[in-house]
């Protein structure tokens, strides 16, 4: 049963950990979340891992190309995220980034937000010693459908968290609750109707979350 609006707000105020999706939530861009569209085009018959494998085998990006992408098009942070993460850290709330995107890009984002790199869960690209694309690490939970929920279950077990809140724009974020205690839908970059409809608390700016924290 999805928590009510007031329950969700209360769970957010007393959360021990807050997990953010990255593409279209923490950063403005879509990035590899285009994969979801690839899957939709296939009538949803394709697993996330298959779509990821197919898409990457088309792109076949080298290490050099990935580094160039980060240098030439650094991910743009969504307004308000820096302040929100800072406030959560001040309150001793652990912050995690959980993404179906790539670790090399997500780590760059984490560094900007002072989020420890061991709090980053994303897909790892593999390269040969000469820098050519060699596939991706299929053992990461984020390479699977339902991977975000798996990461949250793992965090609860590892750290003993009772209250974990997931914040994101997409269906895969919504699906992570449960095991997340609550879900907050974010529509500051893109509004996905099905997520908005199913979220008991849906915000379009991080300022709304900051305001809620001030009530403590």
User: Could you list the active site residues?
Assistant: 21, 23
CA distances from 169 to 86, 90, 114, 138 (A): 21, 25, 22, 24
Task: Check residue 135 and give left, alpha or beta (phi > 0: left; psi -120 to 50: alpha).
Answer: left
For residue 33, the SS3 value is helix
Structure token pair of residue 112: 């900007």
Helical axes 103-112 vs 63-72, angle rounded to 10°: 30
| CB 163, CB 18: distance < 8 Å | no
Structure token pair of residue 168: 């994101």
Residue 13, burial from CB neighbour count under 10 angstroms (0-12, 13-18, 19+): middle
């Amino acid at each position: 049963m999805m928590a009510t609006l007031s329950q969700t707000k209360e769970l957010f105020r007393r959360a021990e950990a807050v997990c953010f999706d990255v593409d279209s939530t923490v950063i403005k861009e879509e990035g590899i979340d285009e994969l979801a569209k690839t899957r939709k085009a296939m009538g949803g018959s394709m697993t996330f891992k298959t779509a990821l494998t197919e898409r990457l085998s088309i792109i076949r990006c080298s290490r050099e190309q990935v580094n160039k992408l980060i240098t030439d098009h650094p991910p743009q942070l969504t307004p308000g995220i820096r302040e929100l993460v800072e406030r959560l850290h001040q309150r001793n709330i652990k912050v995690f980034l959980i993404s179906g995107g790539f670790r090399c890009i997500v780590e760059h984002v984490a560094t900007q937000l002072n989020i420890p790199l061991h709090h980053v869960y994303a897909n790892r690209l593999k390269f040969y010693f000469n820098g050519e694309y060699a596939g991706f690490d299929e053992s990461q939970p984020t390479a699977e459908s339902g991977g975000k929920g798996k990461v949250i279950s793992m965090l609860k077990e590892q750290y003993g968290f009772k209250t974990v809140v997931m914040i994101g724009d997409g269906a895969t974020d919504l699906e992570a609750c449960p095991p997340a205690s609550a879900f907050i839908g974010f529509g500051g970059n893109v509004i996905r109707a099905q997520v908005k409809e199913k979220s008991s608390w849906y915000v379009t700016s991080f300022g709304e979350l900051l305001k809620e924290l001030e009530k403590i």
